Amino acid sequence: MADETRAGVPRRTLLRYGTAAATAPFLAAGAANVAVADDRPRPRTVRVSDFGYDPADSTAFLQAALDSGAKVVIVDKVSGDWTTGPLFVRANNIEVRFERGVVLRAKPGAFPNVDDALVTVENRKGVKLIGYGATFVMNKPEYTTGEWRMTVNLLSVRDFLIEGLLLKDSGGDGIYVGVSPLPGARNRCEDVTVRNVVCDNHRRNAMSVISVDGLLVEGSAFLNSNGTSPEGGVDLEPNYWNQQLTGIVFRDCVFAGCDQNNFVFVPVTLTSDSIPVDVRLENCFLGPTAGDNAILAVNVAGTNDPGGELIFDDCLFTTGPASGTIGIWNHPADGTSIEFDQTVWWSWDTTSPYFTYPFYFRNTPDAAGADPAPEYGGVSWRDSVLITNLNRPFLGVVELPGSQGLADLNGDLTVVNAYGATQDLGVNPHDLDLDVRALTTHPATEVSVSTRSRSNSGRGGSTHRVRFSRVTDDLSMTLAVAFEMSGTARNRDDYDGLSGHVIIPAGSRSVDLPIRTRRSDDAGTRTAVFRLKESPAYTIGEDAEVSIAIRQ
């Protein structure tokens, strides 16, 4: 007897995996022909191919698996891509695994509405999307209107994990962390983890964060956003005053190549009545932009700012021919604390006409034409270093008429520049306690790399330690050392994602970098190679490279 189908899903599969709720959309036209018991035990694990596969359109099969009631849904590797329209994860406490080599591809023409997303998780908890070696890809050239066709759309989720995936070519954001309009939904996401994920070539931002309490982003990359403003890497930008940016940590991440700013902090809708912000970047690399824009853009709501802190710790900024370094708009001197701890800038050969100074403060009139932050500033540095060859002030301002002036800059900063460490501080600088150490040349420094592990090989799941060392007569400066990764082992796959740099603290000759390898079902031995990159801050010694073998 032939296996009858409903909406392309085999009847035998519906009987095996289905519950009444899960299969209702497929049985509506002929429910009397298929008996489904409400008390049928739900399977713990299902494979989407058991529901069916159609290279032209597998939406029904994918959605049926997601709605099956299984705790684990495996999107398995088949002969081609999984082509689909919008998908929805409607269950709590579900793990969706994408096998290595799987491509979840947006079907052309299947996303007609500007807010259609490839995968939406709304008002759910305990959802995991895991896919090392798997890709989500949309059809960016098709989406010429709107900016919200996200790859992964998170709305008021709790305890969410996304890990190991490559997200590409959306009409909006790679990942959107926002708020559900459903009655009773929280006005934030909670406890979101993004690990070893790459977001590349999205039309708006690689990742937008609207409202969240608890966001950990580790070993991930946010690259090459272009198409419609703000064209950023990560954009932290609430929509309303009662939303929040709290408990946010980016660690070992890369932000680079975006048409505008690679990291955007714009809580302009938050007010003094909002929850103070809490954002930290640790050991992150912020590289050149693709256009004439600052790598980091900060824009707050002037004197109505929410307070809190934005901290950069052990980070490296490098400019390109067009990119500026830091642009800070409308930031009150007593507002949100902006801190740079053991952070290094290589501002080299940039010709950006918009960011005259590596550290750039500017106020712009509000809607009424008033100065939103008459007394502006509020930035601190600690053990930080700027290396530049620009014949211009390293810090400068653009003030509005009647400004009260730049205030509350403090800490210590070393500036290395053959042209000197000049500043353009405006008409009324005051309450400045920034200790600037000016050097015309960088102290002679040679760097090397070595392994600190007992063996240069080990099973996946072990941790190796790579040591970066310097030889110099002057240990007083924080030093950034850049490295590139090559070999057959894969960054963010065979080992947890790395930013491509380390910071050697002032007073230290070396620092050890843990390389956390991963267990994988992809058998074999792969080699991770770490090689020092050139920099204006050092020369490279004979020990320029180290290798680690990872066995599975």
Query: 402: burial class by Cβ within 10 Å (0-12, 13-18, 19+)?
Result: exposed
With vertex at residue 251, the alpha carbon angle to CA 219 and CA 459, rounded to the nearest 5 degrees, is 45
Does the pTM surpass 0.85? The reply is: yes
Residues 6+ apart with CB under 8 A from 384: 340, 341, 342, 343, 344, 345, 411, 412, 413, 414, 478
β partners of residue 550: 458, 526
SS3 string of 445-492?
Answer: CEEEEEECCCCCEEECCCEEEEEEEEECCCCCCCEEEEEEEEECCCEC
Q: Are strands 525-532 and 359-362 parallel, antiparallel or unpaired?
A: unpaired
Residues 6+ apart with CB under 8 A from 539: 444, 445, 446, 447
Cα 304 off chain centre by:
28
Print pLDDT tens along the chain (552 aa).
Answer: 334 344 444 444 444 444 433 443 333 332 222 233 345 567 799 999 999 999 999 999 999 999 999 999 999 999 999 999 999 999 999 999 999 999 999 999 999 999 999 999 999 999 999 999 999 999 999 999 888 999 999 999 999 999 999 999 999 999 999 999 999 999 999 999 999 999 999 999 999 999 999 999 999 999 999 999 999 999 999 999 999 999 999 999 999 999 999 999 999 999 999 999 999 999 999 999 988 888 999 998 788 889 999 999 999 999 987 777 889 999 999 999 999 999 999 998 777 766 678 999 999 998 888 998 999 999 999 999 999 998 989 999 999 998 999 999 999 999 999 999 999 999 999 999 999 999 999 999 999 999 987 667 777 788 999 999 999 999 999 999 999 999 999 999 999 999 999 999 999 999 999 999 998 888 889 999 999 999 989 999 999 999 999 998
Q: Which two tokens stand for residue 321?
A: 């021919």
DSSP string, 243-290: --EEEEEEES-EEE--SS-SEEE--TT--TTSPPEEEEEES-EE---S
Domain residue spans in the chain?
261-441, 446-551
Q: What fold, for 446-551?
A: Immunoglobulin-like (2.60.40)
Task: Name the residue among 438, 437, 443, 333 with its Cα closest to residue 380.
Answer: 333
Rounded alpha-carbon distances, angstroms, from residue 113 to 110, 143, 155, 175, 275: 9, 10, 17, 18, 34
Query: 44: burial class by Cβ within 10 Å (0-12, 13-18, 19+)?
Result: exposed
Would you give the DSSP letter of residue 125? B
